[in-house]
Structures are given as C-alpha cells and as structure tokens.
A and B are shown apart, each in its own frame.
Chain A
Amino acid sequence: MNENDLNNLSDEELILEFQRTNNERAFNLLVKRFKNPLINYVYRFLGDYDSCVDVIQDTFVKVYRYKDRYTEVAKFSTWIYTIATNLAKTEYQRRKRVKTFSISGFGEEENNYEIKDNSFRPDKSVDSLYKEEQIQKALLKVKIVYREPVILRDIQGMTYEEIADILNIEVGTVKSRINRGRKRLQKLLKNVYKD
C-alpha cells in the first residue's frame, strides 16, 4: 500500500492496517494526525508544555505497544483520547504529590521559549494575549473533573457522546459538569466577563 492510499484511509482503517500488517507508515500517519490536537488538549489540562509533550509521547508509545487492544467498537479518536486523558491525570496527581512548579509557564528552563504557532498574527493586540493567559490560569484553577469536559467540548470541539465515551460517564453527567465548569470559569474571570 503506497503513501497516497494510506492518506485516504480513515483513522480506524489505519490502526487496523497497522494491527494486521505492522505497517509503521500507518502508525506514523496517525501520529501526524493526532499529535497537535492531543498536545493542545493536554497543555490546556496540565498547563506545562514539557510535561504535556512527555504525556503525548507516552500515549503514542502505548498505542504502538498495545495496538491489538483496539477494537472497532469505539472510534480511534475516543481510544487515543482516553489513553491521553488517563496519562494526563496520572501526571497531574504525580505533580500534586511532588508539588513541583516552574517559574516559567512553559517549562523548567530559565528562558521562556516561544511555542511555535503558525496561526499567530503579529497584528493581534496585546489585550488578547493577556486575556488568553488569564483564561489559561483560570482553567488550571477549575477542578479537573470539570476542567476535562470543558476543554474537550469548548476547545477540542467534541460532541457530548464522544466526551461521555472518553471519560466513561453518562451524557447527562457530561452536560452538568460542563455547565459547572463554565460557571466556575466565568466566576474566576469576572473581570473579563459580565453575567
């Protein structure tokens, strides 16, 4: 199967191809498709870039090792997001126990480094950057049980059913947690938003 043929396959077909033939090009294509959305999701969850890169690396290693555990019952995106969520929670608990923190929001290095973002436009106002920073800080103050569904819904754009599958809860619970998460965020950002 050549590269073009692989590009036309869906995520589920790619992982099945990888299971069947051990075709690493299929795996690499999945990495290419999911690395950025997963990094974005876990960064918003943990707030630390270095940690989120490690978590996503671990996620893909697990997908590689345990590829045979994927079954067609669920979507591939649900499966990989579940793995990433569990690893992110583990990292969060570990950091909470150790209580490590970095002065820089981007990592433990002395100098802040720019996160590559091709969508960033130089004519964006300073206000929007400040707002973004405030939102991220507020997100990290929300309890993880509410933070997760808010990020998956409002940042990643997932459906309630997908979120329910990833977090292994009912759709009703997803909706109620999203509502509570948003309320909490709005309260924390009361200077930015008005009721």
Chain B
Amino acid sequence: MEEKKFENLINDLKNLRKIKAPDNFEFKLQARINNLSEKEPEIVKKNYRLVTSIAFASVLIILSVIFRPFAEDYEDPFEIQPQLREDLIAISENSNTQPLNEILNDSFKESDSNLQKGIPSSKSNLPEKLNDINSSSTDNQIEFTISKEDLNFTRPVMNDEEIKQVQILKQKLMSKKTY
C-alpha cells in the first residue's frame, strides 16, 4: 500500500540509466594488486597476527630486562637518598679523621660547656640546646630533628652593666630618628 503511493517514483528510480565501469577498470585494478603484492612480504601477509604478537612479547621482555622491577638489587630511582658530597664536608686535619657524627657531637658538647660558663656562643653556628636533637649516622648519613625553639643560634649572655649600656645606646638611636 505504501509502495502504491510512491509508484511513479519507484518506477523512475528502477529505470534510471545504469552507470558502468570504464573500459580500463580491470587493467588498473590488476596494476594496483600487483603493486600491493610487491610491497608486502609474503610472510607478513600470511602470519600477520603471529608477527604482531611476537613483536609485542619482545617489547615486554626488553622492558622487563631494562627495568627489572622484581630484582633484589633493584633501586627505585625516586627513593634513592642523595649521596653526601664529602669534599664539602669539613674534615679535621688530623690524620685520624673522625666520622662526621662524632665531630658534630664534640661541637655540641663544646657549645654546651660555653653556655654554662656564660661565654657568648655567637662564634658557634650550632644550636645551644641539644635536647631535641638526635643524631644517628649510618653510612655517612646523619639525620637531625630540630625544634623551633632551638633556631635562635646566637643568644648572648649579658651582665647588668652591659644591659645598661645597650639601653643607653638604644635611647640615643631613638632620639636621632626623631630628628
């Protein structure tokens, strides 16, 4: 019933001219096929899937050899600790060189004794209180934990006369500023 509605249209579509291939169609087609055969080696054509799977497996093997993630001696490059540069570390002129942690411990002890004597420890760059400092060395690696309170390296100890002199100097400076 639907087709009756379009009867004329369907008839005209059926009776449209039949378009045909050009005369040299088969000749050109053969040339293309011959060209195709020359480019592809036979073994690749026949064993395409085998070749691609072998290639993929080879890539996996090569990557696993290079990276070796499960080897015992494998070092994750993101977790390797930086090596200390020994040429920058102050080493004593003693022929018997002390390990670094011992040097630091000695320095800490020295600054402790200076503090008790009331000698300004400005010469030293090390913190006075070492309660929060822990040092441990393993293979030239030293770890420190420093608290905020110990960051004030220079804390001079002054007597009363020195304090008075400092006050006078401050007043003079303040008066100069006002002018």
**A interface residues (Cβ-Cβ under 8 A, vs B):** 28, 31-32, 35-36, 39-40, 43-44, 49, 52-53, 56-57, 60-61, 64-65, 115-120, 131-132, 135-136, 150, 154-155, 157, 179, 182, 185-186, 189, 193, 195
For residues 15 through 55 of chain B, which have their beta carbon under 8 Å from a beta carbon of chain A?
A: 16-23, 25-26, 28-29, 32-33, 36, 45
* Chain B residue with Cβ nearest A131: B12
Query: How many B residues face the partner with a CB closer than 8 A?
Result: 25
**B14 CB–A CB distance under 8 Å:** yes
Q: A31-B26, A61-B33 are in contact. Are A53 and B9 (CB under 8 A)?
A: no
**B56 nearest CB across to chain A (Å):** 22
Q: Is the CB of A39 within 8 A of B19?
A: yes
> Which secondary structure characterizes the binding site on chain B?
helix
**B9 nearest CB across to chain A (Å):** 6
Q: Is the CB of A53 within 8 A of B18?
A: no
**B146 CB–A CB distance under 8 Å:** no
Q: Is the CB of A117 within 8 A of B12?
A: no
**B79 CB–A CB distance under 8 Å:** no
> Which secondary structure characterizes the binding site on chain A?
helix
Q: Is the CB of B21 within 8 A of A36?
A: yes
A86 to B129 CA separation, bound complex (whole angstroms): 82
Question: In the complex, what residues of A have CB within 8 A of residue B33's CB?
Answer: 61, 64
Q: Is the CB of A182 within 8 A of B26?
A: no
Question: In the complex, what residues of A have CB within 8 A of residue B16's CB?
Answer: 44, 132, 135-136, 155
Q: Is the CB of B19 within 8 A of A40?
A: yes
Q: Is the CB of A60 within 8 A of B29?
A: yes
Q: Is the CB of A186 within 8 A of B19?
A: no
Q: Is the CB of A57 within 8 A of B18?
A: no
Q: Tell me which of B8, B14, B20, B36 contacts A116 (CB under 8 A).
A: B20
Known: A117-B18, A154-B9. 10 other contacts (CB 8 A): A36-B21, A40-B19, A43-B19, A52-B19, A56-B21, A61-B32, A117-B20, A119-B17, A182-B9, A182-B10
**B61 CB–A CB distance under 8 Å:** no
**B30 nearest CB across to chain A (Å):** 8
Question: In the complex, what residues of B have CB within 8 A of residue A132's CB?
Answer: 16-17
